[in-house]
Amino acid sequence: MINIFDYDIPKLDSENFTTLLKNKNVEIKTIISNTLKTPQIFIQDKDEWLVVLKGCAKLEINGIVHKLKSGDTLFIAANTKHTLLKTKKVVVWLSVYIGREKK
């Protein structure tokens, strides 16, 4: 059994990714962000649905800034550039990646 709130806090301005489940076309991860001030750019080859479990963050997709807080969810289509602009203190995310890995 895994408790999603048992995690190590990464160094300031960094993140930890932990895979909780990987099965066929689905991968579920927790992401722990610690006071990010340096924007992080991502482009994944899978769809991603995320929920903020704890904390606040700003994420930009296609020029739109999303201010996320605990309980907020967001869907990011595969191959969509998105930038995590910053987080306020520690943010706990649950991300579900959907789609086949490219070989």
Q: DSSP states of 1-42 as a string? A: ---TT--PPPPTTEEEEEEEEEETTEEEEEEEEES--S-EEE
- Which domain does 50 fall in, by range? 14-93
Q: Kindly state whether residue 20 falls inside one of the protein's structural domains.
A: yes
Residue 103 has pLDDT above 70, yes or no: no
Q: What is the tally of structural domains in the chain?
A: 1
Q: Kindly state whether residue 7 falls inside one of the protein's structural domains.
A: no
Q: What pLDDT, on the 0 to 100 scale, is given for residue 102?
A: 65
- What percent of the chain has a predicted confidence (pLDDT) above 70? 97
Q: Kindly state whether residue 100 falls inside one of the protein's structural domains.
A: no
Q: Kindly state whether residue 6 falls inside one of the protein's structural domains.
A: no
Question: Per residue in 27-60, pLDDT tens?
Answer: 999 999 999 999 999 999 999 999 999 999 999 9
Chain centre to alpha carbon of residue 44 = 11
Q: Kindly state whether residue 34 falls inside one of the protein's structural domains.
A: yes
Q: Kindly state whether residue 60 falls inside one of the protein's structural domains.
A: yes
What does pLDDT average to over the chain?
Answer: 94
Q: Kindly state whether residue 2 falls inside one of the protein's structural domains.
A: no
Q: Kindly state whether residue 3 falls inside one of the protein's structural domains.
A: no
Q: What pLDDT, on the 0 to 100 scale, is given for residue 100?
A: 75
Burial of 7 (0-12, 13-18, 19+ CB in 10 A): middle
In angstroms, what is the C-alpha Rg of the chain?
Answer: 13
Please count the residues of the chain. 103
CB 22 within 8 A of CB 92: no
* CATH number (domain holding residue 19): 2.60.120.10
